[in-house]
């Protein structure tokens, strides 16, 4: 899908970010169209996670602005940005130790519901339950519905985290290294899961392994020293001499 021809889900305009007196992002511009699957890559310290933090409202921009489906979000608190439609996962999974897998999914669904009149609540509860069961089956988590995060293996934990972002119904999902710490086989399974379950979402994901990117991303944005170095198809990026020099040459 071509970013220029689809309505923008995310637009970052002239974004800069200074942390601890250091410029981490410098005049970053990017536009992501509806339904695109975009990989954000770059060397360690390039500013990828900081860009995610800025989009999610967890760090403030020092210049520029960020738009989600035409609405400016960079001055909103993180909770409002999440409700506005930015779902995300983190490099290390962020889950609740004492909640069961199914309760995590319930909480993700309920968080987006408006308060209802009491006589409508029963129907809403039944609909939520159906969605929880559907989510468990989609994510391959039916057998661990009643277990806590400590009782499930790492790939399932990451699948749960993906499910939390998905069930929140956010149109834009930011996935920060969803396969970090996984074996090749586990990572391949995770990429297949993302491709299968996130069909109706726009994806921006950070990933270090260029081979994995080709499975999922239709477009790649390369960050280097806090700036966009290149933006193109996976093939264009593979052949880009500047990208070879700063990143892919070292990563492959």
Ligand X SMILES: Nc1ncnc2c1ncn2[C@@H]1O[C@H](COP(=O)(O)OP(=O)(O)OP(=O)(O)O)[C@@H](O)[C@H]1O
Residues of this chain that interact with ligand X (CB under 6 A) are 19-20, 22, 24, 42, 44-50
18 vs 147, beta carbon nearer ligand X: 18
> Quick one: the chain helix, strand, coil %, rounded to 5?
45, 25, 30
Write down the least CB distance from residue 125 to ligand X, Å. 40
Write down the least CB distance from residue 32 to ligand X, Å. 18
Write down the least CB distance from residue 85 to ligand X, Å. 23
Contact 250, 43 (CB under 8 A): yes
CA distance 160 to 142: 11
Write down the least CB distance from residue 116 to ligand X, Å. 40
Render the burial of 169-198: b for 16+ CB within 10 Å, e for the rest: ebbbbbbbbbbbebeeeebebbbebbeebb
Strand partners, 12: 30, 66
Q: Helical H runs in the chain?
A: 48-56, 78-84, 101-111, 118-138, 154-167, 184-197, 210-216, 234-239, 241-243, 249-251
Write down the least CB distance from residue 226 to ligand X, Å. 7
16 vs 128, beta carbon nearer ligand X: 16
69 vs 225, beta carbon nearer ligand X: 225
48 vs 219, beta carbon nearer ligand X: 48
20 vs 115, beta carbon nearer ligand X: 20
């Amino acid at each position: 899908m071509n970013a220029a021809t689809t309505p923008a889900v995310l637009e970052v305009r002239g974004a800069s970010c200074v942390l601890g007196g250091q410029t981490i992002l410098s005049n970053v511009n990017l536009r992501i169209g509806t339904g695109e699957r975009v990989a954000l890559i770059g060397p360690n310290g390039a500013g990828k996670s900081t860009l995610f933090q800025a989009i999610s409202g967890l760090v403030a921009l020092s210049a520029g602005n960020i738009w989600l489906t035409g609405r400016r979000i960079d001055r909103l608190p993180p909770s409002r940005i999440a409700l506005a439609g930015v779902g995300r996962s983190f490099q290390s999974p962020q889950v609740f130790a004492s909640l069961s897998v199914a309760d995590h999914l319930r909480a993700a669904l309920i968080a987006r519901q408006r308060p209802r009149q009491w006589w409508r609540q029963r129907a809403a509860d039944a609909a939520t339950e159906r969605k929880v069961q559907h989510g468990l089956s989609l994510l391959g988590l039916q057998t661990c519905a009643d277990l806590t995060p400590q009782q499930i293996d790492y790939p399932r934990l990451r699948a749960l985290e993906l499910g939390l972002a998905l069930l929140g119904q956010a149109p834009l999902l930011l996935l920060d290294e969803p396969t970090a710490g996984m074996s090749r086989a586990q990572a391949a399974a995770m990429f297949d899961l993302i491709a299968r379950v996130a069909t109706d979402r726009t994806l921006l994901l950070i990933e270090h392994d260029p081979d994995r990117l080709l499975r999922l991303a239709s477009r790649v944005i390369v960050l280097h020293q806090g700036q966009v170095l290149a933006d193109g198809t996976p093939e264009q990026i593979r052949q880009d001499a500047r990208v070879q020099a700063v990143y892919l040459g070292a990563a492959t």
